[in-house]
Amino acid sequence: MSQYKAWIDGQIHAVESSLTSSVQQLEYIYEKPLKGTSVLVFGSGFGGSSVALALKGAKIYGVDIAQNSIKIAQKRAIEHNLAEDIAFICLEDTTNLHFPDSYFDIVTCDAVLEHIVGDRTCYLKEMWRVLKKKGILYISNTPNILYPYDSHVTNLFLLPWMSAKTAKKYALLRKKCLPSDNLELMGRRGMTFWSIMRALKKENYMLISTSRQCNLITYMLERKRINTKKKKILFPLLFVLNYVIALPLNIPVSALLPDLTFIALQKN
């Protein structure tokens, strides 16, 4: 229990610098200050991104299905003197958000979609419903299922491509999970960029293209754990992917990378 409490305290008092790059990305996309904007953080978790955005002056609504996470997030907001700027709401069904149509300037979905079991279409459509015209839906840090490596849960190859039953048996055999673990809920299956586009195919939107350099720099900044030597190897690869494939196809470079990040759709 003491270790758990120490971990919780660490979450509450964590410096928000690790989220700085995400906020900078959002500011770049939105093209104006976040101060005064209404933002829905879909899947707010422990409130890290909510706090980081509120520190920029945005009015934040964070929704999550986990009551314990909401409690931690609320305490985190209090510790940052942001209790009046952030409203955390626990919802059992996040396909039915308790907000009117066209309510938010920005909806963020950061490291969330992979934790939704089954079809994610209805969740994406609900996020879209509450977004204002000219508002931004921002999706980031979701594993790209085009890649056969599960870096999110088990660190096993081929796991994302297996059926749920086979994946569980394989992970147990490799001693990478417990019998009680729900690998689907833990996020072993991500999405592709194209599956997100298909979910919103009937909607009127514009995929916001980023500058050539920003695509590359953003991805590298978010991978601070990658050492300098690896970055020297990866940067040329990212450069080629971005200029030769992503830009001609008008898709974000992350559509071709292990994680889907920096994906922004503007509602027309």
Per the listing, tokens 């200050």 go with 33
Residue 121: the pLDDT is: 97
Residue 264: the pLDDT is: 92
Helix (H, G, I), strand (E, B) or coil at 182: coil
Per run of 10 residues, the mean pLDDT along the chain (length 268 residues) is 52 53 79 94 94 94 96 92 96 96 97 95 98 96 95 94 97 96 95 96 84 54 62 77 86 89 92
Residue 9: the pLDDT is: 56
- 41 and 108 in contact (C-beta within 8 Å)? yes
Between CA 127 and CA 250 the distance in angstroms is 23
CATH number, span 2-145+190-211+258-267? 3.40.50.150
The model's pTM: 0.88
Nearest CA-CA partner of 37 in 142, 141, 139, 138: 138
Domain range summary for the chain, segments of one domain joined by +? 2-145+190-211+258-267, 146-183
Between CA 166 and CA 170 the distance in angstroms is 6
Angle between helix 67-79 and 2-12 (nearest 10) = 50
Per the listing, tokens 């934040």 go with 60
Residue 156: the pLDDT is: 97
What single-letter DSSP state applies at residue 88?
A: E
Residue 28: the pLDDT is: 80
Between CA 203 and CA 125 the distance in angstroms is 9
- Could you tell me the two tokens for 61? 């609504």
Residue 214: the pLDDT is: 56
- Could you tell me the two tokens for 44? 């707010």
Residue 160: the pLDDT is: 96
